[in-house]
A and B are shown apart, each in its own frame.
Chain A
């Protein structure tokens, strides 16, 4: 039996797992970045609706870039060097984790929420892209900093092996990572500008109808036909899934829009650009519109629509949001920084 290890790790709760792990891991290595700043520098915000890509028979809608990309972009913009590993063999994956912990380094890893017994039952789907940090070991229990939780927790070795080697979309393959070089004097200003500009470009310029600000009118068009094409029950399931992707655990509210607004606000101070505060306010107003959309959609799913509410009025709301985001991201793309 290997000896116990407890690494002093300052766990702070976040809205989202990936930006939360970045913020917590960087703080350990002496670089202070808030969750919204990590999210913004990593250009996490996005929008896409992909009717051809289905999970459990329901088209995928997403309010963020692909899992793992926030970390990659953040590291690139901040000059952070990461050691990334994946494994075939479960014992080897755990042995390597133990070796890194023994060196006193906390380790980030990819897990499936289905196999994390400490999470509430209602959230345990086969979602295989949940990031956590393991920061120690006591006997067979590993010490876990799960960014969405208010405190740290523990997980048994057997459960952790399952969570690290879940199959599905994607196979988790024991993936783990830890920073090997963090520049504590990195140029956060330059990184924030790069991250911001990238998001503005991503949202405005992808030449396909289902991505960025074009994705909202694209989904709106489909939404108008949901009831006639899918029937009432499936229409509600499709709509419910949109709400979940927008509001469920992890987004910080309004499909990451409030977190992005918080980034804009922080960037205004960091870059001494007061006009960014106005953009943060506009992003907040748009976030509130997203919430009104979700509220109306929720009533629809429950079978108690607001008076006058239809799939058509929901589509109208979505189109209005699309127009507002189009203007905002175009302004941000042009902003001299």
Chain B
């Protein structure tokens, strides 16, 4: 790949925060680092991966709204976790977490467990108990 062939297909994946570097040949045939804002095939593949994740988040939201799952299911998907990964963060067996995805079990949780869940899922106890009215996307909080 020559320097001038380094793709600059901007799909705002980098949010203008920085450019990544690729290795390409300069006019003397020597390798140099060249900044790039992205490449179409990479943008397509990345977009496709996020579509799958966001579908899962929205699906969970719908299931919470219809009373099939507790809001925990939504916040878990929003953090791109499954029961096993969330359980690791909680220090609980995965089957316990799975049980908490049932609305009745979730409602019976004590404040300390809710607080622990909220912390693991980068949210507050208040937020943890509900889902947004509008479709939501997976997003990692900007706050720790």
Interface residues of A (CB under 8 A from B): 13-15, 35-36, 114-115, 117-126, 148-151, 156, 158-159, 161-162, 167-168, 171, 236-237, 240-241, 243-244, 247-249, 252-254, 258-259, 261-262, 265-266, 280, 284, 287-288, 291, 294-295, 297-299, 301-302
Contact = CB atoms under 8 A, between A and B. Distances in A.
A287 B1 contact: yes
B88 A248 contact: no
Interface stretch (B18-26, B96-104, B105-113): B18-26
* Interface of A (DSSP majority class): helix
Given A117-B144, A253-B24, A151 B18 contact: yes
Interface string B19-63: 111111100001101010001111011101110100000000000
- Shortest beta-carbon contacts, A-B, top 7: A298-B41, A262-B31, A159-B144, A240-B45, A158-B144, A167-B88, A258-B23
Interface residues of B, number: 40
B21 A252 contact: yes
Given A115-B144, A253-B23, A261-B23, A295 B41 contact: yes
B139 A121 contact: yes
Nearest to A13: B21
A138 B91 CA distance: 32
Nearest to A157: B144
A167 B17 contact: no
Contacts of A167: 85, 88-89
A275 B70 CA distance: 65
Nearest to A114: B140
A240 B140 contact: no
A288 B139 contact: no
Given A36-B23, A120-B17, A247 B48 contact: no
Contact of A258 (B17, B24, B139, B143): B24
B15 interface: yes
Given A13-B21, A36-B31, A253-B22, A244 B46 contact: yes
* Interface of B (DSSP majority class): mixed
Listed residue (B88, B140, B142) with the most chain A CB atoms within 10 angstroms of its CB: B140
Interface of B: 1, 6, 13-15, 17-25, 30-31, 33, 35, 39-42, 44-46, 48-50, 52, 80-81, 85, 88-89, 139-144
5 contacts: A150-B19, A168-B85, A244-B42, A253-B22, A298-B42
A161 B89 CA distance: 13
A240 B48 contact: yes
Given A15-B33, A115-B144, A243-B41, A236 B48 contact: yes
A215 B62 CA distance: 42
Given A126-B80, A150-B18, A301 B23 contact: no
B23 A241 contact: no
B48 A258 contact: no
Given A14-B33, A258-B1, 4 more contacts: A15-B22, A125-B80, A167-B89, A287-B1
Given A247-B41, A294-B41, A241 B1 contact: no
